[in-house]
Structure 1
């Protein structure tokens, strides 16, 4: 049976995010910016606290503990990046900042988490699927780079172009994880971390497009899946903590039955 508390959180949080962003956009862009920044601060802070609590429950030992440490480090880095981004907006700073460093650092730790999280199911992931997913992701990347007319003429452009590349790399374990869910190998609540990253990447692609054509602003409709991604991560953390309470603490990461 799926974890009810994590599902209830999704049922509550996702419509709230959608309603607030859409409604604030109907009023004025300034309201959308205010509410987007507020939601971002609240949701990411809740997520970071939930991650820390989850780490205390799982502990740092073993593959399971190390995987969750990586996830928490990723969220912590993204939390810092979000605050720097907001500060840059408030001070009208549009140049490259340390936010980029923290975002890319978060990508690295999330990728490690994704790989470690999928390791117990390695026997169910064929090389053929990995190749197919990689080719699909590469095709999507080329399409995004073409649509956004990305180039590498300057260092700033190189950094901006690195985001779709990093996003595409994150898509590989995410899509593989979602495929496992549809195969019945893992339960929905366990796949939330991959669904969240998929939502994150889709929003990021949208941001790059609208930013390129000069139509993006904080609170834009494309922020909806971005904020939802963080909420989905929270739901996944809730589910994991509940799973942890039910399984053998000595062999949590290899017990696939509890993850189905």
Structure 2
């Protein structure tokens, strides 16, 4: 399938590893020039080197997405360095785990900046360039936007807000910019290892047993591979989805069983 991404310019945040890294690699493989960011200098430079060693056109910058000025600076740098911007992939690491009773106001404030406001700020700063290029925004969120997950109250509360922002923007920015969100399920990443360990400790069971138990809730019987998520991003960023905007795509192995 022709994606039409050859020569386009993309910014992928939180891309030093996991789903963000896989997304950057997939977009670069389709011919995009890609800017990547992370809050960790060593990891983002290592990621950039790995992608360049594979022959991809990649630039990298450190950015703490919880900081408003750094979001704006990141977009300005990416747009100037790439000579424009056609694709924005809003991605962040997950917020800390915990329950309503456990997490204080500071934890909530940091999560709001990390998960919701980073997407708002990056999107707002990117819109002028994206409008010029008839661009695409893909928000990487979580299946928690549809189905709350135990001990993940911050994600449960904030991921739906990102989806709602994206749906609203899809109408506001049309027809120049398409906006879609991906609801991620359980993938083979460091994050899922952390989540499973945390949940197992809470329940007093072995992490291996908890992981096996959680896999039974996924009809496909396994965790997803990061490249499978990245393929969905490529689809929504490219020309094959040119009549798709304002939608949410669950990439979760069938775990979410709701109708809507």
Which range, TM-score by smaller chain? under 0.3
Larger Rg: 1
The normalised TM-score by structure 1 is 0.28
Bigger RCO (CA 8 Å, 6+ sep): 1
